[in-house]
Chains A and B, each alone.
Chain A
Amino acid sequence: MSSASHSNETSTGIPHGKLGIWLFLASEIMLFATLFTTYIVLRVAAPQWPRGWDVLNVPLATLNTFILITSSVTMVMAYAKAYMKDRAGFNKYMLLTLAFGGAFLVVKSFEYGAKFSHHLYPSTSIFFSIYYVTTGLHCLHVIGGLVVNAWLLWWAKENFEHPLFVGRVEYSGLYWHFVDVVWIFLFPALYLL
């Protein structure tokens, strides 16, 4: 990619990738802000609104919150190890990040499954419309992050010394933290408020 020969000679001094990922996150913020706006507008207008803890599984979601926050910690560790050129450490923490991300999805799928078995579908009510679509889009973002991280793990086998490698881990990490932050907003909005 072009950034290979230009990353240290950009007009602003900021690498292309770093500028790019922040711009991407800005657009992502607009995307999720729209979903939260939808949630607020519809909830304010609703004659009654179910209490999240009555219809959703708070213990499972709390567990998921811890899993995702932990995965953010391991992501930072993976970046730190990549930065310090510690290949084994990077592999370990990246695998842990993937494992925690996968665990989040497994827990989430149990939650969805339990809802389906009680015949609670996206079409059931406006609350479940919002619940399924927002958490579903969030899950897609988690999957996207897992794919990128898995690719980085594979790419590192041959390219651990590549000049772009540390930067790419950092950008993937920024995205992963963003996905984490979205959940930290979704969790209270849907389950606790």
Chain B
Amino acid sequence: MSAKNHHNDGHHGDFWSTYVFSLDHKVIGLQYFFASMVFLLFGFSLIMLLRWQWAFPMKPIPLIGWLLPESLAPGGVMVPEFFNQIGAMHGTIMVFLGIVPLGVGAFGNYVLPLQIGAPDMAFPRLNMMSFWTFLPGGLLMLCSFFLPGGAAQSGWTSYPPLSVINPGQTMWLVSMVLIITSSLLGSINFIVTTLNMRAPGMTLARMPIFVWGQFVTAVLLLLAFPPLEAAAILQLADRVLHTSFFMPSGLVISGEVAKWAGGGQPLLWQHLFWFLAHPEVYVLILPAMGIVAEIIANNTRKPLHGYKEIVGSMVFIGVLSFMVWAHHMFLSGMSPKISNFFLVTTLIISVPSVAVLTCLVFSLKGGSIRFTTPMLFALAFLPMFGIGGLTGLPLGLTVTDIYLHDTLYVIGHFHYVVVTGSLLALFAGVYFWFPKWFGRHMNDALGKVHFWTTLICMNGIFFPMFIQGLAGVQRRLYDPTAQLHNVSTQGMNVVSSTFAWLLFLAQLPFIWNFFYSIFKGRKAESNPWEATTLDWACPSPPPHGNFDKPPKCYRGPYEYSVPGKKTDWSPQHVEAA
């Protein structure tokens, strides 16, 4: 379909309809990309502040401490309420406004239609609405810092009754409802697009792993988010209408009988929250796995080891992720029979995750590996996600979890999964698809500097947390040195914090590289990586409607080094390649 008669057009050089309220999946993808990158940087800045308090408790924050208002940090020392706000908002922003919109909103929107050979998403208008509910939700979340009472301060999990009593929570709930709504609109769009918009010949078994990852993710978002939306509405009602869904009878706050009628159950919220938030973990990791699979196949120049096994494992992970949520609640109080059930499902779900990882590692065997920047990030994903996954096993076992629950060990575990796992893979994706997005290459040398410094700093931040956690250091402590048993590992907080600030410096080459390369980078053709999938069959950057003529798919996604062929890659869209 040519650019001229493309039905979504309606663009007549109008700035607003081209860049702001665009219906084009590529522009919306980039909108998500820039928005989520800014949110990531903001969430990261918050935790850099918090890390000062952990490294040097009760000392004034240097350089920027004077910028903070008296109410938050008198004399540059942050008050406990501000510390709690940072903790809650860091988690919320990184998960719901950073990693998910980056993995799904940005990469999914941009790459998924290209990889299945579609001219756009199935519902372009819905796609635009999805972004324009996400962005106000995200901005509301940030603005909540400026409200009287400040931002939410009950953790990103928002457990009641604390969250119903604490100030700042109402704004959190309202923006969560907006973000969830955006996510639901997006997931419907992704599923319909994947099922309905595939190019002729693109059977389900020929879809790239990336598309499968996005598809399973969309199903998880579609079915797991509504319970949290309902729960958020109920908590909002508890706060605004003074209903008592999560407020128990006989609650006494600061020596006074609470004004709620009672009869509610705080534990109910935990169940509803984790019913979303565990599938959410897989929403964070499945797009990352998809990106890594694409890059590994492309840079080893050989077919992926076990395409069917990876797809099967991803689908199995998706199904099973609905049955593991209560392993977050072993210490919240539940019958041992129920906790045994969740223990078993939790250990079972590690099997398909390990299967995916094993397939990706085996894919390296016998390949002639190109150590490009995206490949380095993808390679680092494998052992890092491995550490993140394996350190999760003691948390899935009820016995060991009793000790480790709520310690820094947990923080180390999920940051290894989400930061050195998902985020490294997302960086890999940026370097990999940048030529497609902007028609230019990013600088490889700077990319490698970014890679090594980032990898070292991330490990420097999160590895000490395992040791601290095993030593019994709790998470969410305003002043860790206030407890005697934490003093022996306090030096590790200084190490962690230093690496966190270095990690910020390590991102500067990336930021510079990114913007410089948009304008001045080396030009890229349509298929600079000599890749096989359909996203490389259209011009870089793709015009409206993506493909010069509607593509047809003739073979599987990873036919590299097919014996008897002239080139070592056989693109999906070339009949006689």
**A residues touching B (Cβ–Cβ < 8 Å)?**
1-6, 10-12, 14, 16, 19-20, 23-24, 26-28, 30-35, 38, 41-42, 45-46, 121-126, 128-130, 132-133, 137
Verify A42–B123 contact, CB threshold 8 A: no
Q: Does B222 contact A (CB under 8 A)?
A: yes
B-side interface mostly: helix
* Contact across chains for B195 and A129 when beta carbons are under 8 A apart: no
14 A-B pairs within 8 Å (CB atoms) are namely A1-B123, A2-B8, A2-B124, A3-B123, A12-B196, A27-B225, A28-B226, A31-B229, A34-B272, A42-B263, A126-B261, A128-B243, A129-B237, A133-B245
B→A interface (CB under 8 Å): 7-8, 119-126, 184, 187-189, 191-192, 195-198, 202, 222-227, 229-231, 233-234, 237, 241-245, 260-265, 268, 272
- From A36, which residue of chain B is reached at the shortest CB distance? B230
Chain A residues, Cβ within 8 Å of B233: 133, 137
Judging by beta carbons under 8 Å apart, are B222 and A126 in contact? no
Nearest 7 pairs between A and B by C-beta? A126-B263, A129-B243, A123-B242, A34-B230, A30-B226, A10-B196, A31-B226
**Beta-carbon contact of B125 and A122 below 8 Å:** no
Closest to A13 in B: B196
State A129–B229 Cα separation when bound (angstroms): 17
CA distance A45 to B245 in the complex (A): 12
Question: Closest CB-CB distance, A62 to chain B, in whole Å?
Answer: 26
Q: Is the CB of B241 within 8 A of A132?
A: yes
Contacts of A4 in B (CB 8 A): 7
Contacts of A16 on B, CB cut-off 8 Å? 122-123, 192, 196
Query: Which residues does chain B contribute within 8 Å of A125, judged by CB atoms?
Result: 261, 263
Q: How far is the CA of A41 from the CA of B191 in the complex (A)?
A: 32
* B223 pairs with A122, CB closer than 8 A: no
Give the shortest distance, in Å, between B349 (CB) and chain A (any CB). 20
Task: State in angstroms the CA–CA spacing of A31 and B228 once bound together.
Answer: 8
Once the chains bind, are A20 and B123 in contact (CB under 8 Å)? yes
Q: Which residue of A lies closest to B263 (CB)?
A: A126
Cβ–Cβ contact A3 & B122, under 8 A: yes
Chain B neighbourhood of A126, CB < 8 A: 243-245, 261-264
Q: How far is the CB of B187 from chain A (nearest CB, A)?
A: 8
B198 & A2 in contact (Cβ 8 Å cutoff): no
B191, B192, B226 pick with most chain A CB within 10 angstroms: B192
Q: Which of B8, B226, B243, B264 contacts A132 (CB 8 A)?
A: B243
Tell me which residues across on chain B come within 8 A of A41, comparing CB atoms: 265, 268
Using Cβ atoms and an 8 Å threshold, which residues of chain A touch B120?
2
Complex contact B195–A34 (CB within 8 A): no
Q: In the complex, which of the residues B7, B196, B262, B264 contacts A19, with contact meaning CB atoms closer than 8 Å?
A: B196
Residues from chain B with a CB closer than 8 A to the CB of A11 are: 195-198, 202
Q: Which of B197, B237, B263 contacts A6 (CB 8 A)?
A: B197
Q: State in angstroms the CA–CA spacing of A14 and B197 once bound together.
A: 11
Given A2-B123, A27-B226, A125-B263, also A42-B268 (CB < 8 A): yes
Give the docked Cα–Cα distance between A121 and B261 (Å): 11
B192 x A27 contact (CB < 8 A): no
- Known A-B contacts A38-B268, A137-B233; the reply to A30 vs B223 at CB < 8 A is yes
Contact yes or no, B222 A26, CB < 8 A:
yes
